[in-house]
Amino acid sequence: MPEKFDCIIVGAGPAGVSCAYALAKAGLDVLIIERGEYPGAKNVMGGVLYRKMLDDIIPGFYKEAPLERPVVEQRFMLLDRESAVTFSYKGLEWGREPYNCFTVLRAKFDQWFAQKAVEAGALLINETVVQECIVQDGRVVGVRTDRPDGDVYADVVVLADGVNSLLAKSLGFHKEWKPDEVALATMEVLKLDKTTIEERFNLEPNQGCTIEIFGDATQGILGTGFVYTNKDSINIGVGALLSGLIKHKLKPYELLERLKQHPLIRPLIAGSEPQEYLAHLIPEGGYRSMPKLVGHGVLVVGDAAQLVNSIHREGSNLAMTSGVLAAEAIITAKELNDFSENILDSYRINLLNSFVGQDLKKYKAATHHFERFPQYFEQYIPMLNRAAGRFLTVDGTPKKEKQKQLVRQMGTVGERFKIARDILRAWKVMK
C-alpha cells in the first residue's frame, strides 16, 4: 500500500464507488474505505436503479450486473382506508435495451459495483471506520481510521459516507440535520415465488413493476409507501419525514405493519415470507439543505451532500453523477498539482449546472411546502377517493346532478376557494 494516495474515498456506496471507478480508470491511486463487512452490507434502497447514469460510467453494465427486473410499469396509488385512485405508466420499451431502470438488491449490487472499481485499479478496505479527517493548516490531508496505526494520507479526501456524514459535520460543512431534513424509512424484503409475482403484478418473466403509495400509507403525513418487484421477492416499505413522525408520535415500523395489512396491499404480498428487515434515513432537505460541498483537499458527494430528489424517488443516480463530477475535478486538480478549494470548486459548479443541481433547485420549496400544509395528504387524497367512488357508482343519479354533488362535497364556497388556492400553490412549488 503506498504511504500516500492520490485520493481516499470514505464509503463504498454508489457515490463513492462511481468516483473511485472514474479516478482509477484515469490512473490515480485510489483507496476506498468502507465500514461494512462488504460494500452494501449496511446499505438500504427501495430498489430502483436508473440505467442512464451508470451506463455513462460502465457502458452496457446491465449485461453483467446483478439486477432483479427491468421496470416496465410505474404505478402511483392515492390510498384511502378502503379505496385508491391509481394511475400508471406501462411501457414495454422499458423492458428492452437500453432500458429505463431496474429493481436491485443493494447487498448484491454494491458488491458487484465495488468489484468493478477494484478491477479498474482502486484499493478497497472493508470493516474499517473512518473516525475523522486529518486537517493540517486548514487542509484535509488524510483520514484517521479505527485500525491500529490507522492514519492514511492523500491529496484529496472524498466524503461519500452517506446521509449521516459525521465527517462533513465535524469539518463544519453542515449542522446536525433537522427532523424536517431527513425521512426515516423502514422496509422488508419478502420472499415470494417468481410465477406468483408475475401473475399478481401482470408481468411477463423479466419484467418489473413499482408502486408508489401516498396518503393512507403514512396515515396522511408527508411520505410514501412503496412496493417493488424483484425476481423472487418483493420490497415493501414506508418512509416519512422525521418531523412528521415525531409530531404525530408515529413509529415507522408500525406504519409498515399497517401498510402490509391494508386491504388493498395485503393481497399483493399474501403468502410471502419475511427475508430481511431494514431501516435507514433519507436526506430530504434538498437544495436548501445542501452543505458546503468543497474545501481544501476535500469534497462531499451523494447522500452526504443531501443529493436526493424525493419527489421523483431518485437518489442513487444523483449519487453516481456527483461521484463522477467529483472525480473530474480531482483529475484536473492532479494535473495542476493544486488541490485547493478554488480548483476543486469546479465540482460544485458542474454539479449545480447538471441535472442534479437543476432538479434539486426546481423542487427546492416542495418538501417544506407539503410539510407545512398537511391537507394535501390528510384531506385531499380521501376527498379525491370519495369523489371518484361516487362518480363511478351507477345509482340512477343523472351525471349532471352527480357533478353538482361532487362540487357540493368540496364544501362551502370559501372551502372550495381554499382548495383552488392550494392547487395553485402546489403547482407553483412543483413547476
CA distance 100 to 320: 16
Q: Which residues in 222-261 contact ligand FAD (CB under 6 A)?
A: 237, 239
Considering only 45-53, 214-222, 263-271, 340-348, which stretch makes contact with ligand FAD by CB under 6 A?
A: 45-53
Query: Is residue 181 part of the contact set for ligand FAD (CB under 6 A)?
Result: no
Beta bridge partners of 182: 283
Stretch 186-205: interaction string toward ligand FAD, x if CB under 6 A:
-x------------------
Cell readout for 227 is 412496493
Binding-site member from 174, 280, 348, 368 for ligand FAD (CB under 6 A) = 280
CA distance 409 to 210: 33
Of 119 and 146, nearer to ligand FAD (C-beta) is 146
Is residue 130 within 8 Å of residue 143, measured between CB atoms? yes
**What torsion do the CA atoms of 394, 400, 402, 404 make, to the nearest 10 degrees?**
180
> What ranges in 30-184 are assigned the alpha helix state H?
51-57, 106-120, 166-170
Of 187 and 343, nearer to ligand FAD (C-beta) is 187
| Residues whose CB is less than 8 angstroms from the CB of residue 267 and which lie 6 or more positions away in sequence, other chains included | 200
**Residue 164 burial (10 A CB sphere; 0-12, 13-18, 19+):** middle
Stretch 158-177: interaction string toward ligand FAD, x if CB under 6 A:
--xxx---------------
Q: Which residues in 303-362 contact ligand FAD (CB under 6 A)?
A: 303-304, 308, 313-317, 319
User: CB of residue 92 vs ligand FAD: minimum separation in angstroms?
Assistant: 21
Binding-site member from 5, 21, 46, 213 for ligand FAD (CB under 6 A) = 46
Angle at which helices 316-336 and 14-25 pack, to 10 degrees?
Answer: 30
User: CB of residue 102 vs ligand FAD: minimum separation in angstroms?
Assistant: 10
CA distance 320 to 303: 10
User: CB of residue 58 vs ligand FAD: minimum separation in angstroms?
Assistant: 16
Query: Is residue 291 part of the contact set for ligand FAD (CB under 6 A)?
Result: no
Query: Is residue 12 part of the contact set for ligand FAD (CB under 6 A)?
Result: yes
Of 13 and 382, nearer to ligand FAD (C-beta) is 13
Query: Is residue 152 part of the contact set for ligand FAD (CB under 6 A)?
Result: no
Angstrom distances, CA of residue 121 to CA of 116, 117, 125, 152, 409: 9, 6, 13, 18, 65
User: CB of residue 412 vs ligand FAD: minimum separation in angstroms?
Assistant: 41
Residue labelled with grid coordinates 492514519: 151
Of 17 and 268, nearer to ligand FAD (C-beta) is 17
SS3 content of the chain, % helix, strand, coil (to 5): 40, 25, 30
Query: Is residue 10 part of the contact set for ligand FAD (CB under 6 A)?
Result: yes
Interacting residues toward ligand FAD by CB under 6 A: 10-16, 33-36, 39, 42-48, 129-130, 160-162, 185, 187, 237, 239, 280, 282, 302-304, 308, 313-317, 319
